[in-house]
Amino acid sequence: MDTFLDFRYFFVRKVIFVKYAKAFVIMPGGYGTLDEFTEAINLIQTERIAKFPVILFGKEYWKGMLDWLRNTVLKNGSISREDLDIFTVVDNPKEAVTVIKKFYKQKR
């Protein structure tokens, strides 16, 4: 069964998107992608939602952002070392599936 959901406000779509997600696999993208990624990791970091797999796909694409997070944001004390463990970076679909399966196997 397919269900079509239409949202008048973007923030409502994001809330529903995160609330019912079992995992996020985030492909290379622009501002909207970064917005959804940071929204998810912020909600997990602040324990507003339960942890679930957040996966960045494409190590080379995300390298600059990851370097900035480690070398600037972490060093500045704006996040903790553990906050970098909220998400995983992979290069192929099998790795993403493995991360998701491992997460839910450990939750049992």
Looking at residue 10, what is its pLDDT? 83
Numbers of helices and strands, H then E, in the chain:
4, 3
Confidence at residue 108, expressed as pLDDT on a 0 to 100 scale: 72
Residue 71 scores a pLDDT above 90: yes
For residue 71, the SS3 value is helix
- Residue 108, Cα to own-chain centre: how many angstroms? 22
Predicted confidence at residue 1, as pLDDT, reads 58
Domains (range + CATH), the chain: 10-107 (3.40.50.450)
Percentage of the chain lying above the pLDDT 70 cut: 99
Q: Measure the CA–CA gap between 47 and 64, rounded to whole angstroms.
A: 27
User: What is the helix, strand, coil percentage profile of the chain, to 5?
Assistant: 55, 10, 35
- Calculate mean pLDDT across residues 87-104: 98
